[in-house]
Amino acid sequence: MQIRRAKSIDAEALVVLINAAFRLGEGHIILGDRITLETVQFLLAKGEFLVAEDEDALAGCVYLEARGDRCYLGLLSVDPERQRSGVGSTLMRDAEERSAQAGFRFMDLRTINLREDNRLFYKHRGYTETATEPLPSEVRTKVPCHFVNLSKQL
């Protein structure tokens, strides 16, 4: 498996991958798709996606965005058929290493409070909870929930 920076040609495949991964993990919490093609294109211009790829298929992705001396990490997504195979850990390790080499001092991310599996995954990687915040008003949920912010010094 190789990790590379996504290109604009990857946008449609990223939408499919992210929505499939989030539907599996958050389908019982969030109504509708997680992301649109327009949002992926906007994010590609604002930050970067790293993709894990093998045999010409995307196995996973993660989004990185510079915010001062901090790097925001979001949309960690792994193809549902490849979850729990190490793809997410590989993407996290690569994202953290690239961010540290680029001079970022901290990595920040957020997850939904009801995603205990995500929170444990990040805590095992050294992230600590720093705050909570509400979901954006346009996000429709099936149950009450909020974001939990986590951070790690690189």
Tens digits of per-residue pLDDT, 42-59? Answer: 999 999 999 999 886 899
The dihedrals phi and psi of 41, each to the nearest 5 degrees, come to -60, -40
pTM of the model: 0.95
The three-class DSSP label of residue 50 is strand
Identify the pLDDT of residue 140.
93
Q: Which residues contact 87 (CB under 8 A, 6 or more apart)?
A: 1, 52, 59, 60, 78, 79
d(C-alpha 46, C-alpha 120), whole Å: 29
Domains parsed from the chain with CATH numbers: 2-108 (3.40.630.30)
The string of pLDDT tens digits covering residues 54-79 is 886 899 999 999 999 999 999 999 99
Q: Check whether 106 has a pLDDT greater than 80.
A: yes
Residue of 115, 95, 118, 119 lying closest to 107 (CA atoms)? 95
